[in-house]
Each structure stands twice: as structure tokens, then as C-alpha cells.
Homo-oligomer: A and B are copies of this chain.
Amino acid sequence: MLTLYYAAETCSLASHIALEEAGADYSLVRISFARDEQHSPDFLAINPKGRVPALVTDRGILTETPAILVFIAQTFPKARLAPLENAFAFAEVQAFNSFLCSTLHVAHAHRMRGHRWADDEEAIASMRRKVPDSVGACYDVIERRMFRGPWVIGQSYTICDPYLFTIAQWMEADGVDPGRFPNVADHRRRMSQRPSVRKAIAAELA
């Protein structure tokens, strides 16, 4: 049995969708960022980093979206969510997700979480102003150089797809016009119609 600790409208949606795609037996625990529950002693005992997602397994607790996504793909191989038998293709999947995690998500985080990297309000406001540029530059590389279509790595749906979809939900709020990135926008539209995605979003909004 798996338990996913998630927060609404965060990157934990990617792991949630992957659990649905995998046909996993899992339960959900909602963490409210509005009530700062991610910094409560109870949650810090689960994830000392105070972040979501966290996935409680029979073996222990896992954190970090790229790691959880691969764990789901390996634990439910019949769902074929990653090219597990091919080291190069698997590394391409990992490289894409690492870019989302360490560059695109980080650029986005400067809109709402600037306090992580500066203390004064003017610097935090300055970071916020640059988000449309820095996030847009990431989508530019994805659109022109990384995205193969119809899915991120080409013909196969993988753990890259729910992760890109999740972060791409934030484009408008980040001041990025989806019209500049037709591949990404079309992918987002198609993803939003998948039953697994609809079910995961409905559960998080319930």
C-alpha cells in the first residue's frame, strides 16, 4: 500500500497522475500550504525538507518528484511508464525530468517562493518580475529542442508527460503565453482529457 502526501496545485500532481496511470493501490493525504502544514512537526517527521510530494511505502518514505516517478514506473512495469530496459532511453527520460525539477520548476518558484533565496522585499519583487522571462526561456528549449511528440520523448507515453503537464498548468500565472508554445499547449490539452488526469485533479479539488 502506498500513501501520497500532496498539496493542491503543486508538483505532487505529477506523482498522483502516475499512480493513476500505473493502476496502483494508494491513498492520499492532503497537506494544506495555506495552513503551513508542510512545516508542522508531524509532516517534518515524514519529510524533513518540508516539501511535497512524499510517498510512504512499505519500505520507507520517498521524496523528490523525479525519484518517485521512476519508483512508480519500476514498481508497476506493466504500465510501461518508462523505457526501463534501455539505459540510454531511460537517461533521456531522466534528463527531461531533471530539467523540469532543477531549472523550470526552480524558475517558476521565484514567483511565489523568493524568500528562499533573498530576505528583502525589493529583491523578492525583482525575482517575481523576471519569472515570465526565465520560465519562458525553459519552455522555448522544450518546444524547439526537447519535445518530440505526440508525447515528450516521442511515440511512448512516459513519466515525463504527467510532470510536464503538471508544471505547464502554471504557465498563465507565470506570465507566459501558451500560444508561443504550440507543442506544449497541445500536449497540455491532450493530457487534460486523459481519464487518469481528470480523476487525479478531481480528487485534489474534492
A10 within 8 A of B: no
Residue-wise, chain A 48-90 has the 8 Å CB interface mask toward B (1 for contact) of 1100000001011011111110110011000000000001101
Which residues from B are CB-within-8-Å of A122? 122-123, 126
Which residues from B are CB-within-8-Å of A116? 107, 134
- Provide the bound-state CA to CA distance between A169 and B108, in Å: 28
Which residues from B are CB-within-8-Å of A130? 117-119
- How many whole Å from A137's CB to the nearest CB in chain B? 9
Please state if B102 and A106 are interface contacts (CB–CB under 8 Å).
yes
Which residues from B are CB-within-8-Å of A123? 118, 122-123, 126-127
The number of times this chain is found in the oligomer is 2
A120 within 8 A of B: yes
Please state if A74 and B87 are interface contacts (CB–CB under 8 Å).
yes
| Interface of A, helix, strand, loop or mixed by DSSP | helix
Q: A48-B141, A107-B117, A141-B48 are in contact. Are A87 and B71 (CB under 8 A)?
A: yes
Please state if A99 and B49 are interface contacts (CB–CB under 8 Å).
yes
Residue-wise, chain A 85-120 has the 8 Å CB interface mask toward B (1 for contact) of 001101110110011011101110010000011111
Which residues from B are CB-within-8-Å of A64? 94-95, 98-99, 102
Please state if A48 and B145 are interface contacts (CB–CB under 8 Å).
yes
The residue of chain B having its C-beta at the shortest distance from the C-beta of A54 within the complex is B95
A-B pairs with beta carbons under 8 Å apart, 26 shown: A48-B141, A49-B103, A62-B88, A62-B91, A62-B92, A64-B95, A64-B102, A66-B94, A66-B98, A67-B91, A67-B92, A68-B91, A70-B90, A70-B91, A71-B91, A74-B87, A98-B98, A102-B105, A102-B106, A117-B117, A117-B127, A118-B123, A118-B126, A119-B126, A119-B129, A123-B127
